[in-house]
Amino acid sequence: MKKLLIPAVILLMCAVSCSKWVFCAADETPPNIVATVPADGDTAVDPGLAELSVTFDEPMKDKNWSWCYENPETFPKMTGDPRYEDGFKKCVLPVQLEPDKEYVIWFNMAEYKNFKDCAGNPLEPVRISFKTAP
Ligand SMILES: [Ca+2]
């Protein structure tokens, strides 16, 4: 009888030590975007804006993102690495924008699907565009 107890003890220890088991519920629903900065279609973005962000409706997998471009000419110049904030619900990208320019950003795209919730479900690709003020 004693031998049968050991696997149960090991499983319990793993549940405690594997953080994804503790903080990440089993989940088969893809995440949704609830807000972006700038917003899609904004035509008067302050060119001094130093950070873009995308906010999701659930915690995302840390260190995973796919900030994508369809044309490098219309993607902002990045000034740092992306990071998650607000309990991994908000991903921030440091950038330097130019005045009077149109930008296009994809969150996930084709085979690039690293925006995923903490259970691993990828975001369906979303495209936004915005324009900076002169
Ligand atoms: Ca989910």
Nearest to 26 by CA among 115, 118, 113, 116: 118
User: Domain residue spans in the chain?
Assistant: 30-131
Near ion ligand 1, which residues have CB within 5 Å? Answer: 27, 29, 117, 121
Ligand 1 center–CA 6 separation, angstroms: 33
Ligand 1 center–CA 56 separation, angstroms: 10
**What digits encode the pLDDT tens for the residues 33-53?**
999 999 999 999 999 999 999
pTM of the predicted model as reported, rounded to 2 decimal places? 0.82
Q: Which fold has domain 30-131?
A: Immunoglobulin-like (2.60.40)
Mean pLDDT, all residues of the chain: 88
pLDDT of residue 117: 96
Ligand 1 center–CA 121 separation, angstroms: 6
- CB proximity list for 32: less than 8 A, separation 6 or greater: 56, 57, 123
Contact indicator for 101, 44 with CB cutoff of 8 Å: no
Tokens encoding 88: 């991994």
Residue 125, pLDDT > 50, answer: yes
Query: ∠82-86-91 over CA atoms, to 5°?
Result: 25
Nearest to 62 by CA among 85, 36, 88, 87: 88
Contact indicator for 119, 31 with CB cutoff of 8 Å: no
Ligand 1 center–CA 30 separation, angstroms: 5
The 3-state DSSP class for residue 2 equals helix
pLDDT of residue 24: 73
Q: Considering only 22-26, 103-107, 115-119, which range has the smallest mean pLDDT?
A: 22-26
pLDDT of residue 4: 53
